[in-house]
Structure formats: structure tokens, C-alpha cells
Amino acid sequence: MEQVRRQVDRLCWTGITLGLAFTMTNVQHFAAAGAAVWSLPWLAAWLLDPTVSLVLVAILRAEQLTARYRIRTGPWVRRAKWFTLGATYVMNTWASFAAGSWSGIVLHSVPPLLVFTAAEAVTDLRDKLAEAAAAAFTETTEEQPAVEAAKPRPRVARGRRLFSDFLADARKAWAPGIEVTPAWVREVTGCSRGLSSRLAAALAAEIAESGGRP
């Protein structure tokens, strides 16, 4: 998802940069107003379009950051953006409108209008892609516990316990004063009912032989 966001961002900014570069020559021609080539007015005319474009790019970049954190900008930010976009459009198409050339109007309108729409779209697209990334992360997080719960738990294999093992457990649990019965043996060792009688008899015999010590 993050890779898609970077690709969309780069493609949009590449288109905006190329569109602004295309408008630079038209704006310079408009600002030079027939001045001699390499004269001071002709050279100064090249500064007009970068001045407007740099302000526009700065506003667009700031809007991207504020949109990421859901921060609304003031009205002057939007006014400045549309003023720079409108100024670029007018300076690009003025000569074509004055000459009444429809082909020139169409030709010089496409790059500024493309920059206009891309400037609005890039901020909204980045915002929506951020929401999509957050939704995808939430969905993945919710699915992970369900997958873990669905996995069968491995069973711990228990080794086979012998008669001597049960007898050792009963011997450890016995203390003077405790009556050795099958029920008591089952309680302290967890053996079966059939085995408890044999264990009780064996433990009682040991206690009797040892004089009350198991």
C-alpha cells in the first residue's frame, strides 16, 4: 500500500512539474511583450513563471502535509493557490484569446488546466490512500487473532507411567496419620480405579515393613 502511495505521488508531481515547465515559455513570451532577445526586460521575463510556480508548489506541498494529519487550512491558503493557478492560465492563454485562435486557446489551456486538476486531486488522493492504508492495517490486525485461534494447538504427548511411578508419587504424598486407601491413592496420583487397589496394598505393605516410614 505504501508503495502505491509513493508511485501515485511521484506520478502526479511529475505531471505537475512538466505542465509548469511547459507554461514557462508562454509566460515568458507574455511578460517580455516583444522585448529584444537578451535584453534586460527579456531576461527578467523568465523570472515571472518560476515565481508563481514556486509559490504554487510550496502551497501544494503544505496541503499534502496538513491533509495527512487531517488539519484544515485557512481560506487564504486556498485563495493563494487559486490565484497562482489563475494567473498561470491567464498569462498562458492571453495571446491566443487576443488573436482569436481557438487552436492556440486549446493548446495553451491544457497544461494549466491539467495542473489545476492535478493540484486538487493529489491532495485528495493522498488523503484517501492514507485512509485505505489504515483500513487495510485494521483489517489485517482483526484477522490475525482469528487465524491464530483457528490453528490447532499441538498436543503434548505424555509418556506412559509405570506402576513404580505411581507408587513413588503415593509414597511422597503419604505422611504419618494418613490412612492408605484406594480412594486416597487415586486422589494423590491420578491413577485408575483398578490400579489404585494394588498401589494402596503395596504402599501399606511398605509402611508396615518399615515400621511406619514409607
Q: Tell me whether residue 109 is in a domain.
A: yes
Does 189 share its domain with 130? Answer: no
Q: Tell me whether residue 176 is in a domain.
A: yes
Q: Give the domain range for residue 59.
A: 2-150
Does 59 share its domain with 103? Answer: yes
Looking up cell 488522493, which residue turns up?
125
Does 129 share its domain with 179? Answer: no
Q: Tell me whether residue 24 is in a domain.
A: yes
Contact 85, 119 (CB under 8 A): yes
d(CA 53, CA 26): 13
- Angle at the Cα of 103 (from 98 to 105), degrees rounded to 5? 45
How would DSSP label each residue in 116-144? HHHHHHHHHHHHHHHHHHHHHHHHHHHHH
Looking up cell 488539519, which residue turns up?
71
Q: Tell me whether residue 198 is in a domain.
A: yes
What are the pLDDT digits (tens) for 171-202?
A: 888 888 788 888 888 888 888 888 888 888 88
Does 167 share its domain with 141? Answer: no
d(CA 60, CA 66): 10
Does 130 share its domain with 188? Answer: no
Does 37 share its domain with 139? Answer: yes
Whether 61 shows a pLDDT value over 60: the answer reads: yes
Does 10 share its domain with 64? Answer: yes
- Angle at the Cα of 132 (from 131 to 138), degrees rounded to 5? 90
How would DSSP label each residue in 160-189? PPPHHHHHHHHHHH--TT----HHHHHHHH
Predicted local confidence at residue 33, as pLDDT: 85
Does 131 share its domain with 175? Answer: no
Predicted local confidence at residue 45, as pLDDT: 93
Whether 138 shows a pLDDT value over 90: the answer reads: no
CA-derived radius of gyration, the chain: 43
Query: 80 is written with which cell numbers?
Result: 493563494
What are the pLDDT digits (tens) for 104-132?
A: 999 989 988 888 888 778 777 877 877 78
* Per-chain mean pLDDT for the chain: 82
Q: Residue 155 — left, alpha, or beta (φ > 0 → left; ψ -120 to 50 → alpha)?
A: beta
Does 94 share its domain with 136? Answer: yes
Does 68 share its domain with 171? Answer: no
Does 12 share its domain with 103? Answer: yes
Predicted local confidence at residue 144, as pLDDT: 58
Does 21 share its domain with 64? Answer: yes
Boundary-marking domain end, from 126, 150, 174: 150
What are the pLDDT digits (tens) for 22-42?
A: 889 889 988 998 899 999 999
Whether 80 shows a pLDDT value over 70: the answer reads: yes
Predicted local confidence at residue 100, as pLDDT: 92
Single pTM value for the model: 0.54
Q: Tell me whether residue 97 is in a domain.
A: yes
- The structural domain count of the chain equals 2
Predicted local confidence at residue 156, as pLDDT: 41
Whether 155 shows a pLDDT value over 50: the answer reads: no
